[in-house]
Amino acid sequence: AIIRRLPAVETLGSTSIICSDKTGTMTKGEMTVRKIYVIDRTIDVTGSGYEPVGNFKVDGKAIDVDDELKLLLLASALCSDARLVKEEEKWTIRGDPTEGALIVAAAKAGIGEKELEVYPRINEIPFSSERKRMTTVHETPNERIVAYMKGAPEVVLGLCDKIVVNGEVRKLTREYEEKILNVNDTLAMQGLRNLAIAYREVDPKELENTLEENFEKGFTFLGIVGMMDPPRPEVKDAIDRCKQAGIKTVMITGDHKLTAVAVAKELGMFRDEDYVLTGVDLDRIDEEEFEKIVENVKVYARVSPEHKLKIVKALKKKGYIVAMTGDGVNDAPALKAADIGIAMGITGTEVAKEASDMVLADDNFATIVAAVEQGREIYENIKKYLVYLLRCNIAEIMMPLFASLSSLPLPFTAIQYLWINLVTDGLPALALGIDPADPDLMKRPPRDPREGVFTKRDTLLFLILTPLLMTALLLASFYVSLNIIGEELIEARTQIFTSMILMELLLALSCRSLRYPVWKVGIFKNKYLILAILSSIVMQLLILYVPYLHTAFDVTFPFLIDWAVAVVLSLSLFIAVEIMKIMFKAD
């Protein structure tokens, strides 16, 4: 995924609902024609992928391609812009996968590029998600002009008044309409994406003016092509992870309602009690009524880009942080309105990409979920970084304050303060910025974006108790060294100077998780943090044991007892913080 706007990273971690297109995002986008319905018979099509090899079967027996089937396949191929090409011994499609499936099916019947070239296209009314159909006009080899249409079966059927039955053109009766719609529902329940095919002869005078939608009437219905677009295997797992993370998933598609529900059930995102709405339903109900049910709708079918905008607005009013996918020009308003607009990198238009916050380089739903996880991880690491720096710096401020109130000398010199910040706030803090996430990161509900960076628990545990305990331990050691043991000031400073640095380095290790004891998430899992801590210790050893540096840093050679005190104080603080993490459980 490519993040176009940096604030989107934080918003990703708060995403509470993902509204995703079905085709190509939840499914592979590799269409294959599986069934063809011509009146009174359903034909199975064999073969897989884009290789133009396969048979046509009825009741398991191979059949020859008759004129009726050939006309349907010819019409579907002519009314398509995709091309079938062979590259490096592999057949691929250039263009839309749905149209590619139609081209491949025609090629299986011997209707290839050469056969299509003799039907030059002379006009067209392009497809749009609002119209749900496409019409092209061609000259035939016998000098006739014929228009071919493909589109949503219920839409195409409404523009037909005739039908082909056993090679004979008949009037389209109500009985035939009901039979066709029932077959369409049956195929859709099998998870097939259906397109109806129709044609009509055109009077040349009709082409004298620009084609308008009233041109698309009086067609002859040829049949239905059912295509299978298998779900991506990784999407089901991604949806399960969303459920564990408290993120709802919604499918949005232009396909038939039953097709969408069949695929949604296969992906495990639809139950019998869930709602499914069509574009017609969305047009019929008002905003207030829609807002009452929007949380229970898992599938939207036969929708247009305008409906996407309505869905986003309703969900945002309910307080959801909405991620919405889109690829077309008309999807731009919905992408802009969503909290996270996600454009498709492969099939998406430039307009959609410009309106988006994030671009999917592989058009894969699983990548959205991975990006949400990454967003959560980045936010958590920023929080770890801030907790580490703030609690150490608070302790550094409290040290001279309480020392002065206790009539003790200043515990550190100015150069020692600078050195502490250099050694502890540098490499270890940077290493926390790339720390691996807690194992249950995607098992927590989405973070409320209105809440502050630190919870009450974080403030009490990390920004109050830890600095106080740290200050108390160090000042107690400083007092004992000066007033009880009777050490020189430089010796006492060397001891707490080293203790302070060891404490902060162990606190960096403790910051691997702000919720759990560090041993639960793995002490040595962040190798960069371990290297940073070791590097800081080496730097500290240099100024302690290189005599030339003693004067500059106002230190002396530490005794073995000084190291023992430093280690005991550091471990005491480290263990105390880990115990407090258990006592003060995170919500």
Q: Is 372 among the domain residues? A: no
- Global pTM reads 0.79
Last residue of one domain, picked from the residues 228, 253, 284: 228
Can you give the pLDDT at residue 587? 64
Q: Which of 296, 332, 331 is nearest to 314 (CA)?
A: 296
Instruction: Examine the residue annotation and report whether 44 is marked as an active-site residue of this protein.
Output: no
Q: State in Å, rounded, how far the first CA of the chain is from the last one.
A: 31
Within this chain, do residues 236 and 224 fall inside the same structural domain, yes or no?
A: no
The catalytically annotated residue of 21, 255, 363, 562 is 21
Within this chain, do residues 440 and 509 fall inside the same structural domain, yes or no?
A: yes
Within this chain, do residues 446 and 416 fall inside the same structural domain, yes or no?
A: yes
Count Cβ atoms within 10 A of the Cβ of residue 191 and give its class: 0-12 exposed, 13-18 middle, 19 or more buried.
buried
Can you give the pLDDT at residue 534? 95
Within this chain, do residues 133 and 84 fall inside the same structural domain, yes or no?
A: yes
What is the rounded distance in angstroms from the CA atom of residue 265 to the CA atom of residue 262? 5
The residue segments making up the domain with residue 447 are: 378-583
Can you give the pLDDT at residue 320? 92
Within this chain, do residues 298 and 215 fall inside the same structural domain, yes or no?
A: no
CB-CB neighbours of 236 under 10 Å? 17
Last residue of one domain, picked from the residues 228, 251, 282: 228
Number of domains in the chain: 3
SS3 annotation, 270-336: CCCCCEEEEHHHHHHCCHHHHHHHHHHEEEEECCCHHHHHHHHHHHHHCCCCEEEEECCHHHHHHHH
Beta strands in 420-475 (DSSP E): none
Residues of the chain falling short of pLDDT 70: 587
Residues 6+ apart with CB under 8 A from 316: 322, 337, 339
Within this chain, do residues 257 and 385 fall inside the same structural domain, yes or no?
A: no
Q: Is 349 among the domain residues? A: yes
CB-CB neighbours of 314 under 10 Å? 21
Q: What is the CATH number of the domain that holds 521?
A: 1.20.1110.10
What is the rounded distance in angstroms from the CA atom of residue 504 to the CA atom of residue 570? 8
Q: What is the CATH number of the domain that holds 7?
A: 3.40.50.1000
Q: Is 369 among the domain residues? A: no
Q: Is 370 among the domain residues? A: no
Within this chain, do residues 394 and 528 fall inside the same structural domain, yes or no?
A: yes
Kindly list the distances between the CA atom of residue 312 and the CA atoms of 5, 289, 317, 324, 566, in Å, as whole numbers in the listed order. Answer: 19, 15, 9, 8, 57
Q: What is the CATH number of the domain that holds 94?
A: 3.40.1110.10
Radius of gyration of the CA atoms of the chain, in A: 34
Can you give the pLDDT at residue 463? 92
Last residue of one domain, picked from the residues 363, 389, 415: 363
Q: Is 368 among the domain residues? A: no
Within this chain, do residues 450 and 489 fall inside the same structural domain, yes or no?
A: yes
DSSP for 395-425, please give it: HHHHHHHHHHHTTPPPSS-HHHHHHHHHHHH
